[in-house]
Amino acid sequence: MVQYNTTKQKRLRIAIQKSGRLGNESIDLLKKSGFIFQKSDRTLMSRCENFPLDILFLRVIDIPNMVKKGVVDLGIVGENTLAEKEYKTVQPVKKLGFGKCTLCLAAPKKSNIKTIADFSGKIIATSYANITTKYLQQNNISCEIVEMSGSHEIAPQLGLADGICDIVSTGATLEANNLINIQKIFSSEAVLIGKENAKEILQNKNINDFLLRLTSVLRAKKLKSVIMNVPNTSIEKISNILGALESPTIMPLAKKEWSALHSVIEDNAHFWDTIRKLKENGACDILISPIERVVD
């Protein structure tokens, strides 16, 4: 393990959500990336034990400003937070693949709003006034926007609005409040953000080391390790079916004319299609395992 002299090296600072799903998933990513730290409910900062990194636990809405002012070097927020406030001196460094959700226009099930055009002349309650207004303008729909900091779902019941625009993950909250999703207007996921100049960000050695660790975990999430027994006559065909890495590892077996082949498969919508093709071309005894990290 590399030991960092934290007294002489300038420590990086990253800000993540102090509580909530985005914060929990950010902590999970950092720990899987090998950063050792402890989070306490009584403190807003934790020092990493094996890397010159300090982790600040803040409200998501405050994180871009902390990056903008240089209080922290990096932050993790949803793309929706970045788009709503339009922080011109803060930019995404890397998409992180978690915290996925959509911003949707919704209306009561029993209302006469069934399409996006039906919102014309109506009132919409949202905490994403900027994103909502831009989308409606692009679709030539004129309506009134009422800004609310939360509890948008109850606005139609109270007569404050005809519909809402809010973040939807599973749709369960809409269903519980007798609302239906009319139109998805924005897709979001967690992003690592930094200050304006991306080239300067990537020239920082500590940030490069930090990104190397994060990227190794993010890439591994998309792959599965596979080991299979194959007849030697099928090695070329099976190698062509795989292809996630440059070349599979091939080891001869005690059984004549057979080999063990080790490679990786993309863990995507075509995963089981690939497995079927491997079997059709003679692969058997296929072992599939998760991968912790992949370093280029």
Percentage of the chain exceeding pLDDT 90: 65
Pick the CATH number of 101-187 from 2.30.130.60, 3.40.1160.10, 3.40.50.10790, 3.40.190.10: 3.40.190.10
CATH superfamily, domain at 12-99+190-220? Periplasmic binding protein-like II (3.40.190.10)
Report pLDDT for 251: 94
Average pLDDT on 214-240 reads 93
Tell me whether domains 101-187 and 223-290 share a fold.
Answer: no
Rounded to two decimals, the pTM is 0.82
Average pLDDT on 59-73 reads 92
- Statement: residue 15 has pLDDT above 60: yes
Report pLDDT for 23: 93
- Statement: residue 182 has pLDDT above 70: yes
With contact defined as beta carbons under 8 Å apart, do 186 and 83 qualify?
Answer: yes
Domain 223-290 bears CATH identifier 3.40.1160.10: no
Report pLDDT for 122: 94
- Statement: residue 3 has pLDDT above 60: no
Average pLDDT on 51-67 reads 94
| Confidence at 175, pLDDT banded by 50, 70, 90 | confident
Q: Give the start-to-end residue ranges of the domains of the chain.
A: 12-99+190-220, 101-187, 223-290
- Cα(113)–Cα(162) distance, integer angstroms: 9
Name the nearest CA neighbour of 58 among 50, 49, 67. Answer: 67
| Confidence at 4, pLDDT banded by 50, 70, 90 | very low
Tell me the pLDDT tens digit for each residue of 236-292: 999 888 865 667 899 999 999 999 999 989 888 889 999 999 999 999 999 999 999
Question: Among 4-8, 12-16, 169-173, 291-295, which stretch is predicted with the lowest mean pLDDT?
Answer: 4-8
Can you give the three-state secondary structure of the chain, one letter per residue?
CCCCCCCCCCCEEEEEECCCHHHHHHHHHHHHCCCCCCCCCCCCEEECCCCCEEEEEECHHHHHHHHHCCCCCEEEEEHHHHHHHCCCCEEEEEECCCCCEEEEEEEECCCCCCCHHHHCCCEEEECCHHHHHHHHHHCCCCCEEEECCCCHHHCCCCCCCCEEEEEECCCHHHHHCCEEEEEEEEEECEEEEEECCHHHHHHCHHHHHHHHHHHHHHHHHCEEEEEEEEEHHHHHHHHHHCCCCCCCEEEECCCCCEEEEEEEEECCCCHHHHHHHHHHCCCEEEEEEECCCCCC
Q: Tell me the CB-side half-sphere exposure of residue 134, using CA atoms within 13 A.
A: 10
Average pLDDT on 176-186 reads 92
Tell me the pLDDT tens digit for each residue of 190-210: 999 998 665 566 667 888 899
Report pLDDT for 89: 84
- Statement: residue 9 has pLDDT above 60: no
